[in-house]
Amino acid sequence: MKNIQAKTVNDKTRNCQNKDTRHPRTILQQVRQWILTQNPDRVFRMPTHPDTIGPTFERYLQQYNKGQLEAIQGHPELAYPKRAYVHPRCISFVRAAQRQRYLKRCSSAWHDDIAARATLEEFWLAPKDATHTALAICAVPTAGLKAGWKVDDEEWHAFSIAILKEESQKGKHVIFWDCDPYDQLTEGTRVREALQGFQRLAYEYLRTKSKSLTIWYNNDRSHSGQEKCVRYSMERISIWYELANTPFLGPQDLRIKNCLKLVP
C-alpha cells in the first residue's frame, strides 16, 4: 500500500510539472493539501520533511490533545494527572501582526500554509488546563521573517520549545531544543550568544511575560548537520510528552537532559 500511495503522489506531481512551470515547492504543497482533504479522520504520520507546510503540522499536532480528550471521555479519574499541553499548530511568528505582514508580502499560493502557522503569543495565551508543561514546535525561515517575497526559495529551520512551571508557580523554565545547537556552548554561555534569530525573539517575548525565567539550551550535537531538523524536533516533542507532566524537578529532570543553563 505504501508503494501504491507513493506512486500516486509521484504521478500527480509529475502531471503538475508537465502542465506549468510553478516552483516545485508550490506543487508539493498543493499535492499534500489534496491528499489531506481526502480523509479528514485519518491518523496522520509525524511530519519529517524540511518543507512541511502549516496544515500538515496542524493535522498531526492536533492528535495529541484530541487523543487525550478521547482517552478520558467517560472516565474522569483518568483526567489527573494531565498530560503535557502540545500546541496544535507550528509556531512561525511572535505576534499576529507579524504573520499578517508576511501574508501580505508572499504569493497567494502560500496563504493557506502561512495562515495555518501559529504565533508565540497564541501559544503563551492558549488555555492549558493547569498543566505543568507546555510544548511546541517552531519552524522559521533561516534568513529571518523580514523577506516573505519568495517563500518558495526560503530555507526553513525547526526546533522545539518546552515551558515548565516552577513548583512554587513563581517562575518558569524554558528549554530550547535545537538539533543544530550553537557550536560554542559552554557553562556560562550567555543567552544572547546562544540564541539567534527567532530563538532570540522568542526569548525576548517570554521575558516580558515571566519575572523569573530560566533558559536551558540543548548541547547534544549527535544530530547536527543532518538536515533533519523537523524530524528530530517532532521526536523531541514526543519524548517530552511521554515524560511525567510535573513541575520542574531540578538538575535531575530528564526534560533538560544534555542541556546547559544559559546566563541572562
**Domain chopping of the chain, boundaries:** 1-42, 44-261
Taking the C-alpha atoms of residue 62 and residue 199, their distance in angstroms, rounded to an integer, is 24
Residue 88: per-residue pLDDT: 95
CA atoms within 13 A on the CB side of 34: 11
Give 7 or 166, the one with higher predicted confidence: 166
Taking the C-alpha atoms of residue 251 and residue 256, their distance in angstroms, rounded to an integer, is 8
Helix, strand and coil percent figures for the chain, each rounded to 5: 45, 15, 40
Q: Is 79 exposed, middle or buried (0-12, 13-18, 19+ CB in 10 A)?
A: middle
Averaged pLDDT of the chain: 81
Task: Evaluate whether 47 touches 234 at the Cβ level (below 8 Å).
Answer: yes
Interval 220-233 mean pLDDT? 94
Task: Indicate whether 70 pLDDT > 80.
Answer: no
Task: Indicate whether 71 pLDDT > 80.
Answer: no
**30-44, 112-126, 163-177: lowest mean pLDDT where?**
30-44
CB neighbours (10 Å) of residue 38? 7
Residue 148: per-residue pLDDT: 54
Residue 64: per-residue pLDDT: 86
- pLDDT tens sequence across 109-157: 888 999 999 999 999 999 887 789 999 999 998 877 665 556 667 788 9
Task: Indicate whether 63 pLDDT > 90.
Answer: no
Residue 13: per-residue pLDDT: 40
CA angle 44, 53, 45 (to 5 degrees): 15
CA 213 to chain CA centroid, Å, is: 20
Task: Indicate whether 230 pLDDT > 90.
Answer: yes
This prediction has a pTM of 0.79
Specify which residues 164 forms β-bridges with: 133, 173
Interval 183-197 mean pLDDT? 90
Interval 159-178 mean pLDDT? 93
Interval 34-38 mean pLDDT? 49
120: enclosing H helix or E strand: helix 120-125
User: Which string of b and e fits 118-156 if b means at least 16 CB within 10 Å?
Assistant: bbbbbbbeeebeebbbbbbbbbbbeeebeebeebbebeb
